[in-house]
Amino acid sequence: MSHYQILIIGGGTAGITVAAQLRKKAKDLQVAILEPSDKHYYQPAWTLVGAGTYKFKETERPEANYIPKGVTWIKDKAVSLTPESNAVMTATNGEITYDYLVLAPGLIMAPELIPGLKEALGKGVVCSNYTDPEHTWEVLKNFKGGNAVFTQPTTPIKCGGAPQKIMYMAEEYFRKASVREQTNVVFATPGTVIFGVKEFAKTLNKIIIERDILFKPHYAPIKIDAEKQEITFKYTHENIAQCADTIVPALGESLVGDSEIVMKFDMLHIAPPQQAPDFVRNSSVSMQDGPSKGWVDVDINTLQHKRFPNVFSLGDVAALPTAKTGAAVRKQAPVVVGNLIHLIRTNAIAGLKYEGYSSCPLVTGYSKMVLAEFKYNNVRDSDPFISKFVDTTKEQYSMWLLKKHVLPIMYWEGMLKGRA
């Protein structure tokens, strides 16, 4: 049985960033990362891959290149977690124990939660940038008109804005390919608004009106029939009587019962349902009930576990009421690192707090982007330096350049090296 002072589960954005910062700030601490993957991906660029303006191979690098010097890499995966005894069971290395645990395994795709999706995903005209952005690009190139439907599930997902980013880029591509006039572009979401932060929603609402995009709120996908090219939605508005009024005959929509709507599609882009890994959901570290059931139960400011004080969590797996993005990790990591080091040295955490910052670079075309930055309670939280020069609530070419060229460098050379 192996034992480590600090065990980090997950070698993605959050795990590597925390490990790199720990090595910079406290070289005397013994740190190990449990991570099975050989490859590390810069997933924020997958939207651009799906739109044909970024190469997939440029988003992929060897994991070994980013394990910080002095950190032990356990190339294995967790299968169960028992925080009561500070133990993790792995697939091949048996049991590993720890003094302190940082949970950053990310989330997993769960397409099986929507009947028909698992069988359809990545085949024919059903695509997802979350799983295979190169297939999305093939679908866009082959599209000849009809219903182009973009949707997302009721579960929390990575980067909540991603399902609409690819829609904006696809809509522009359809215009360039001269198929836009034969196309209905539909954004169907279980949500109630196009975006939760009003300053950015105002801009996005203007865009969808100007570009004749059909916005369908209260549409929760519940079933896919790839053969018939039909998707079924549950209408989630409390006033079910409104359901019939939302039907658009031109979309080939039909009502089933009083609250289900069947829509035809000629291409479907969907964010699959997503959830915490099984070893987290089946462990007492996760919330046992409520809307965040299955996600890691941490204090939303200190990122320390509410019941196991030697456990911290950040990134996609943590139960935090903000968007699951790499930008959020950039603000979370210093809080985890500072509080953890202080806990080890003094037996009490430091006063460091995470205020819910996240950022969603909302690409609205092939040369435009709205940089949506916000914190808890959907309060705008734009960078004061950038805001001096650019109105980030409006579409900007400069923000597009930031997304395509600057942020990848900042990720590989800044965050993952513990510098940003």
Would you tell me how many other CB atoms lie within 10 Å of the CB of residue 31? Answer: 22
Domains defined along the chain, listed by start: 2-107+276-357 (3.50.50.60), 109-273 (3.50.50.60)
Read off the pLDDT of residues 271-326 as tens digits, 9 standing for 90 and up.
Answer: 999 999 999 999 999 999 999 999 999 999 999 999 999 999 999 999 999 999 99
Q: Of the residues 20, 32, 159, 319, which is catalytic?
A: 159
Q: Is 360 a catalytic residue?
A: yes
pLDDT of residue 365: 96
Q: Is 127 a catalytic residue?
A: no
The model's pTM is: 0.96
d(CA 203, CA 193): 12
pLDDT of residue 155: 96
pLDDT over threshold 80, residue 385:
no
Read off the pLDDT of residues 180-217 as tens digits, 9 standing for 90 and up.
Answer: 999 999 999 999 999 999 999 999 999 999 999 999 99
pLDDT over threshold 90, residue 10:
yes
Q: Of the residues 337, 360, 415, 416, which is catalytic?
A: 360
Tell me the pLDDT band of 386, cut-offs 50, 70 and 90: confident
Nearest to 268 by CA among 235, 208, 223, 236: 223
